[in-house]
């Protein structure tokens, strides 16, 4: 392997599409033997067939679970220096470049020096990117993952045809199946599922053994490049005994929808799981400029996306929606993005009712009710891998929307009435209250009549009575 400059300083070339998933082969003893023979430390982690990792022995916080030398990290630099696809590496981003590397090394078969690593990778993944269009429509209907999967799948195909002629020339010694669109898509999904981002080096890499451990939320073992030892390390985040599950912290904090597209997993315990709520100002709004200035002052834009979670809703989203409903410029002074502050009862009612409508509309887009998906998850053996992944995703997304709807309803409860055409809050029970008041006065009607008769008899109702008395 040619000398590569240090990982630190190599910039990641972002790709315009990201996606994939995972049905992963188990790492073999050959992989560990090969990797340790090339400098990897004896791992304190055991990888199972389903890509779950458990502690192989007792570990304490900050223990090194595994360390892989830089020479085993495959980056865009290695693509650019590859004997087959190196000429293509200068014009592509990291994801496409690593896909070309994987295609080239797979084409070599047993003669590849990376064969032990290649054998630990799946041929393809179960990502929605690779699903049949009809299957994706049926399983992901209502989910924001569906349009993303379509968009990214199309982008992958575009990338392939952009470089096809040069790729065919570079791989001319191999059968066309080795670099066909199908092979490219399969390899691309594997790269997206396995690629690791190293913050300290700001680089994307394929890393034997290390990239086999699943990411899970923002909490977990820490994975990064150590500049002092020129190794990629996974550091323990707590105490473990043999058999305890171990996950790598996801530095990107991805929601389950993105994890399904990029890693092929849906983590029920993902604390970062969320849905996006898109909001925007209407340019026809007479207060558009003033509102836009307020947004820019707090680092927001006229078209903004906010996350919503099962256990929390950003009050900045409420502030944005409150401001969007304002028609009186004097009320703009009441908008706060620093704290949860109402503008008025009318404004709050309109804002919350908008949110109720949005949640209901999004829930209605899914097929079936949440209880049906929960029943399906109780019998996973009856589901295909794609059905199981989609079912887990739907359950999580519906739960987020239902919890958000519950929060909004609780906020609506203290608001009495609704706005009328004159812009005033009207008690919906006002007519009933008047009727009940009338009914309550009936028992006192006879006494009232007698009192009025006696008053008349005494002349108290005579306009001149008080004057005559004097």
- The verdict on 180 and 315 lying in the same domain is no
Strand partners, 366: none
- The verdict on 83 and 193 lying in the same domain is yes
- The verdict on 258 and 343 lying in the same domain is no
- The verdict on 258 and 358 lying in the same domain is no
Query: Tokens 């990502």 belong to which residue?
Result: 127
Residue (of 161, 203, 182) closest to 9 by Cα position? 203
- The verdict on 373 and 394 lying in the same domain is yes
Contacts of 359 (CB under 8 A, 6+ apart): 401, 402, 404, 405, 408
User: When comparing pLDDT for 25 and 296, which is higher?
Assistant: 296
20 located within any domain:
no
Mean pLDDT of the 305-310 span: 95
CA distance readout (Å), 374 to 45, 46, 136, 370, 394:
33, 31, 20, 6, 10
Residue (of 45, 40, 49, 4) closest to 22 by Cα position? 49
Average pLDDT, the chain: 86
Report whether pLDDT(432) > 50: no
Q: Tell me the residue range of the domain where 95 lies.
A: 29-41+65-219+252-262
23 located within any domain:
no
Burial 182-216 (b: 16+ CB within 10 A, else e): ebbbbbbbbbbbbbbbbeebebbbbbbbbbbbbbb
Dist CA 386 CA 384 (whole Å): 5
pLDDT of 271: 86
360 located within any domain:
yes
Dist CA 68 CA 45 (whole Å): 13
pLDDT of 270: 86
Q: Is the pTM of this model over 0.75?
A: yes
- The verdict on 257 and 308 lying in the same domain is no
Q: List the single range of 5-9, 61-65, 319-323, 382-386 with lowest mean pLDDT.
A: 5-9
Query: Tokens 């020479």 belong to which residue?
Result: 71
pLDDT of 371: 83
Which alpha helices (H) appear in 312-464, and where do they start and end?
Answer: 315-325, 345-364, 370-377, 385-412, 430-441, 445-457
pLDDT of 426: 62
Q: List the single range of 64-78, 126-140, 456-470 with lowest mean pLDDT.
A: 456-470
Q: Which tokens is 43 given?
A: 């791992």
Q: Is 203 helix (H, G, I), strand (E, B) or coil?
A: strand
- The verdict on 200 and 109 lying in the same domain is yes
Mean pLDDT of the 115-144 span: 94
pLDDT of 419: 67
Domain of residue 85, CATH code: 3.90.1410.10
Number of domains in the chain: 2
Q: Is 423 helix (H, G, I), strand (E, B) or coil?
A: coil
What is the percentage of the chain residues whose pLDDT exceeds 70? 82
pLDDT of 444: 57
- The verdict on 279 and 373 lying in the same domain is yes
pLDDT tens digits along 33-83: 999 999 999 999 988 777 778 999 999 999 999 999 999 999 999 999 999
Domain of residue 352, CATH code: 3.90.1420.10
- The verdict on 74 and 193 lying in the same domain is yes
Contacts of 130 (CB under 8 A, 6+ apart): 21, 124, 153, 185, 186, 189
Last residue of a domain, one of 236, 262, 288: 262
Q: How many other CB atoms sit within 10 Å of the CB of residue 269?
A: 9
- The verdict on 279 and 175 lying in the same domain is no
Query: Tokens 């519950």 belong to which residue?
Result: 406
- The verdict on 286 and 193 lying in the same domain is no
């Amino acid at each position: 392997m040619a000398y590569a400059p240090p990982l630190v300083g190599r910039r990641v070339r972002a790709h315009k599409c990201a996606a994939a998933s995972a049905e992963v082969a188990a790492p073999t003893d050959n992989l560990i033997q090969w990797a340790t023979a090339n400098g990897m430390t004896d791992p304190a982690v055991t990888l199972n067939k389903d890509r779950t990792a458990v502690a192989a022995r007792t570990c304490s916080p900050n223990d090194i679970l595994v360390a892989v030398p830089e020479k085993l990290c495959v980056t865009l630099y290695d693509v650019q220096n590859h004997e087959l696809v190196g000429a293509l590496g200068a014009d592509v981003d990291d994801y496409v470049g690593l896909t070309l590397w994987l295609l080239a090394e797979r084409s070599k078969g047993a003669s590849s020096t990376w064969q032990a690593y290649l054998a630990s990778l799946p041929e393809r993944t179960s990502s929605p990117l690779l699903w049949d269009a009809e299957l994706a429509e049926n399983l992901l209907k209502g989910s924001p993952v569906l349009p993303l999967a379509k968009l990214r799948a199309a982008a992958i195909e575009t990338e392939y045809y952009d470089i096809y002629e040069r790729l065919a020339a570079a791989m001319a010694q191999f059968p066309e199946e080795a670099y066909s669109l199908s092979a490219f898509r399969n390899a691309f999904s594997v790269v997206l599922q396995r690629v690791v981002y190293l913050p300290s080096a700001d680089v994307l890499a394929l890393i034997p053994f290390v990239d086999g451990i699943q990411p899970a939320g923002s909490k977990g073992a820490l994975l990064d490049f150590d500049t002092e030892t020129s190794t990629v390390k996974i550091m323990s985040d707590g105490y473990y005994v043999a058999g305890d599950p171990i996950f790598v912290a996801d530095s990107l904090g991805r929601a389950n929808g993105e994890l399904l597209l990029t890693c092929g997993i849906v983590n029920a315990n993902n604390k970062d799981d969320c849905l996006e709520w898109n909001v925007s100002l209407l340019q026809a709004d007479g207060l558009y400029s003033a509102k836009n200035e307020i947004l820019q002052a707090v680092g927001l834009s006229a078209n903004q996306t906010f996350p919503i979670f099962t256990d929390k809703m950003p009050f900045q989203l409420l502030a944005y929606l409150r401001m969007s409903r304002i028609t009186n410029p004097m009320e703009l002074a009441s908008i706060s993005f620093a704290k949860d502050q109402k503008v008025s009862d009318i404004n709050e009612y309109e804002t919350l009712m908008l949110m109720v409508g949005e949640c209901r509309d999004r829930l209605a887009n899914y097929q079936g009710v949440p209880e049906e998906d929960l029943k399906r998850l109780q019998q996973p053996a009856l589901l295909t891998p794609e059905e199981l992944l989609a079912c887990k995703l739907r359950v999580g997304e519906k739960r987020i929307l239902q919890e958000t709807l519950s929060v909004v309803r609780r906020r609506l409860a203290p608001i009495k009435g609704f706005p009328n055409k004159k812009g005033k809050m009207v008690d919906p029970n006002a007519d009933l209250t008047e009727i009940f008041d009338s009914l309550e006065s009936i028992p006192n009607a006879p006494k009232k009549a007698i009192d009025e008769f006696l008053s008349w008899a005494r002349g108290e109702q005579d306009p001149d009575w008080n004057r005559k008395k004097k």
